[in-house]
């Protein structure tokens, strides 16, 4: 072997063969030392370790996974929505995955099924399990995936899939919020909708309708405002609400981004929140407590959704604890001030109770 140039070292990668040759032992011995399998004499071990150090040897994960038949990687497929939500989801999943010694292979932004299917195929042999949030049919997953790969579907529409699913209790949360507004005396409650084909949006709307029906309040189609989960749509909805006649006394935006946009829209029309119009959101993103007035919303433990998903596939991989297939993640009503339930704090006057602005939480379900 010719002597290496300084710059060469960057391009020459040592394999287990090189280590074996340098240490004058066999491949098997090197492997044993590195993986702690089988007995090795202390002296031999030292020789091997020295060679490893000298050569800067790092095992090739790809080759290893070919024979061990596991990649220690979990694939995550996400739809194309951005913002707080996904960073939290990935964060939660990464934490749980790392705890179990797994990596995360994320792939986002998939609009159509065809696209998603290709990504699924490309992932075969690169991941041990999958967390899928994209809006794909359950059997599409089966088709694209060559079996044996545990899958957990996040917020998936159909309940009758054989795959594991975890869903946020969107309906229950929306129901709780609507009931809360009804309790405050509101009867004309506008709802800012999400994307028509979005499962979360559909469920939240359903919860709203259920709550109204249960109280014998008619669902007025004129109060159903279009939206798409972006703040821009919320702002437009706010303007619409201001012009509605008779004007709704409350607005329930099906996510916080729209609620915050809506606040700007209402303000733009000179309306005060909550004095003129009560406002509520959904998600409890971190900044919802910093808008003024602080936003009443439904808390969703997003990072927990991610971590539970990861935990589920990991335990499926380990073959332990065959928990029930379908899981529902509860939500929490967070009452702040935008709905008018609390007396709004007066500027320049200390609040009556020290922590009066803090969200009071009520567990649901």
Binding site for DNA (CB under 7 A): 13, 15-17, 24-32, 34-35, 37-41, 43-45, 57-60, 63-64, 66-69, 125
CB of 301 to DNA, least distance (A): 38
Cis peptide before 246 (omega within 30 of 0): yes
Q: Which of the choices its own copies, DNA, none does residue 267 contact, using the CB cut-off of 5 to 8 A by kind?
A: its own copies
- In the set 24, 37, 87, 365, which binds its own copies (CB under 8 A)? 87
What is the rounded CA–CA span in Å between residue 85 and residue 225?
23
Cβ neighbors of 69 (< 8 A, separation 6 or more) are none
Cis peptide before 239 (omega within 30 of 0): no
- In the set 5, 60, 343, 360, which binds its own copies (CB under 8 A)? 60
CB of 194 to its own copies, least distance (A): 17
Would you say 234 or 248 has its CB closer to its own copies? 234
Name the residue with tokens 């007035």. 293
CB of 31 to its own copies, least distance (A): 15
- Binding to its own copies (CB under 8 A) within 313-352 occurs at 347-350
The three-state secondary structure class of 249 is: coil
Q: Does 168 bind its own copies (CB under 8 A)?
A: no
Name the residue with tokens 């545990």. 150
Q: Does 356 bind its own copies (CB under 8 A)?
A: no
Would you say 43 or 160 has its CB closer to DNA? 43
Q: Find, among 308, 332, 311, 302, the residue nearest to 86 by Cα.
A: 302
Q: Which of the choices its own copies, DNA, none does residue 208 contact, using the CB cut-off of 5 to 8 A by kind?
A: none
CB of 91 to its own copies, least distance (A): 5
Q: Which of the choices its own copies, DNA, none does residue 103 contact, using the CB cut-off of 5 to 8 A by kind?
A: its own copies
What is the rounded CA–CA span in Å between residue 350 and residue 312?
47
What is the rounded CA–CA span in Å between residue 81 and residue 349?
41
Cis peptide before 293 (omega within 30 of 0): yes
First CA to last CA across the chain, in angstroms? Answer: 70
How many residues touch its own copies under the rule CB under 8 A: the total is 70
Q: At what angle do helices 170-183 and 199-214 cross, to 10 degrees?
A: 40
- Binding to its own copies (CB under 8 A) within 257-296 occurs at 257, 260-261, 263-264, 267, 270, 272, 286-287, 290-292
Q: Does 104 bind its own copies (CB under 8 A)?
A: yes
Rg (CA), the chain: 27
- In the set 29, 85, 201, 314, which binds its own copies (CB under 8 A)? 85
Would you say 47 or 110 has its CB closer to DNA? 47
Q: Which of the choices DNA, its own copies, none does residue 43 contact, using the CB cut-off of 5 to 8 A by kind?
A: DNA
Q: Does 12 bind its own copies (CB under 8 A)?
A: yes
What is the rounded CA–CA span in Å between residue 291 and residue 260?
8
Would you say 98 or 360 has its CB closer to its own copies? 98
The three-state secondary structure class of 296 is: strand
Would you say 9 or 158 has its CB closer to DNA? 9
- In the set 48, 131, 134, 144, which binds its own copies (CB under 8 A)? 144
What is the rounded CA–CA span in Å between residue 112 and residue 134?
9
CB of 294 to its own copies, least distance (A): 9
Q: At what angle do helices 231-243 and 256-268 cross, to 10 degrees?
A: 40
Alpha-carbon torsion angle 299, 82, 226, 365, nearest 10: -20
Give yes or no for a contact between 82 and 130, defined as CB atoms under 8 angstroms apart: no
Judged by the rule CB under 8 A, the positions of this chain that interact with its own copies are 9-14, 56-66, 71-73, 82-88, 90-91, 94-95, 98, 103-109, 121-126, 142-148, 231, 257, 260-261, 263-264, 267, 270, 272, 286-287, 290-292, 347-350
């Amino acid at each position: 072997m010719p002597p290496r140039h300084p710059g060469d070292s960057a391009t020459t990668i040592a394999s287990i063969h090189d280590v074996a040759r340098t240490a004058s032992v066999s491949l098997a011995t090197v492997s044993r030392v590195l993986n702690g399998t089988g007995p090795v004499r202390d002296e031999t071990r030292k020789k091997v370790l020295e060679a490893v150090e000298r050569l800067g040897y790092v095992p090739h994960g790809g080759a290893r996974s070919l024979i061990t038949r596991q990649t220690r990687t979990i694939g995550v497929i996400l739809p194309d929505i951005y913002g707080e939500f996904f960073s939290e989801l990935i964060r939660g999943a990464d934490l749980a995955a790392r705890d179990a010694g797994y990596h995360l292979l994320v792939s986002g932004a998939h609009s159509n099924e065809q696209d998603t299917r290709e990504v699924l195929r490309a992932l075969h042999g690169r991941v041990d399990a999958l967390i899928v949030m994209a809006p794909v049919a359950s059997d599409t997953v089966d088709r694209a995936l060559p079996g044996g790969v545990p899958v957990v579907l996040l917020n998936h529409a159909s309940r009758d899939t054989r795959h594991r699913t975890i869903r946020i209790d969107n309906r229950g949360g929306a129901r709780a919020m609507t009931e809360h507004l009804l309790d405050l005396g509101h009867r004309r409650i506008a709802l800012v909708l999400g994307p028509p084909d979005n499962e979360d949006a559909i469920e939240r709307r359903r919860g709203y309708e259920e709550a109204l029906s249960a109280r014998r309040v008619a669902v007025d189609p004129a109060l159903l405002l279009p939206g798409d989960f972006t703040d821009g749509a919320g702002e437009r909805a706010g303007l619409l609400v201001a012009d509605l006649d008779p004007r709704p006394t409350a607005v329930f935006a099906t996510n916080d981004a729209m609620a915050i946009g809506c606040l700007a829209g209402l303000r733009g029309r000179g309306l005060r929140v909550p004095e003129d119009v009560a406002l509520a959101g959904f998600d409890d993103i971190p900044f919802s407590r910093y808008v003024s007035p602080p936003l009443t919303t439904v808390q969703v433990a997003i990072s927990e959704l991610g971590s539970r998903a990861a935990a589920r596939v990991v335990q499926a991989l380990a073959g332990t604890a065959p928990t029930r297939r379908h899981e529902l993640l509860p939500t929490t009503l967070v009452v702040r001030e935008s709905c008018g339930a609390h007396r709004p704090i007066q500027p320049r006057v200390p609040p009556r109770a020290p922590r009066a602005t803090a969200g009071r939480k009520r567990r649901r379900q």
